[in-house]
Amino acid sequence: MPDEGPGHAANWLAAHGHTLTCTKLFEPNPVFPALPDFDGLLLLGGAMSVHDEDRLPWMLEEKAFIRAALQVGKITLAICLGAQLVAEALGAEVKPNHAPEIGFWTVRFSAKSLAHPLLQGWPEKAAVLHWHLDTFTVPPGAMRVGMSAGCATQGFVWGDGVIGLQFHPEMTVAMVEQLMAFEGHEQAEEQEFVQTAEQIRAKLKSVWKGRKLLESLLANLVALHEGETVASGS
């Protein structure tokens, strides 16, 4: 979506000498990169559901591209809708969460997941940004990354190079403001796991916690391969 983007990931990759190309799926006739042309895949969020192929036919092509990238072993970081797409590709179920989860909520990471090399350096818990209606089960053969009070599955790790996160560690303060404007959240009322625009703004300093998680994760991912070209889709 136009309000989504690589955010902190783009800054980190550029600062560490990696090339990032973007496929903007919300634009007409998107062209996916050839598999040999990149080493890592960054899949971002969007307001649509993974089940919206009838309304958004390009999702069929995106899903085929994701399956192909996974089959050849591309390192993959998938966020929110991206994580749901990868989870589905790996055999998990994507379904509505029991309630919307919007705002800064605490995710707790299990000791088992923190022992995984991709999560090296992560804390036991962090208050991070959430913005989703759907959720996914843990794919077969994958490990749950964490959970929050509002969502039982906040992510998964599959093998040593594929990770999906339900929350948004990539978003900058400006991106959060843009997302609230795009979603018409200014007049949203408080719910059990939905914060108002005012409450979200009061917690905007927490984006740095997501940034730290993301930077640590990217460093661990990129350590698996040197000299990557990373492709992103949103």
Residues classed as catalytic: 80, 168, 170
Cβ atoms 121, 216 nearer than 8 A: yes
Structure tokens that stand for 36 in this block:
């040999």
DSSP element (H, E) containing 118: none
Specify burial of residue 17 (Cβ count, 10 A radius: 0-12, 13-18, 19+). Answer: exposed
The secondary structure of residue 37, as a DSSP letter, is: G
Instruction: Tell me which residue has tokens 């990471």.
Output: 109
CA–CA distances in Å: residue 69 to residues 8, 14, 77, 89, 149: 23, 23, 12, 11, 33
Instruction: Tell me which residue has tokens 């040593």.
Output: 160
Cβ atoms 126, 147 nearer than 8 A: no
Would you say the C-alpha torsion 95, 97, 103, 107 has a positive or negative sign?
negative
**Which residues is 148 bridged to in the sheet?**
107
Distance spanning both ends of the chain, measured CA to CA: 6
CA distance 140 to 154: 16
Structure tokens that stand for 55 in this block:
């309304």
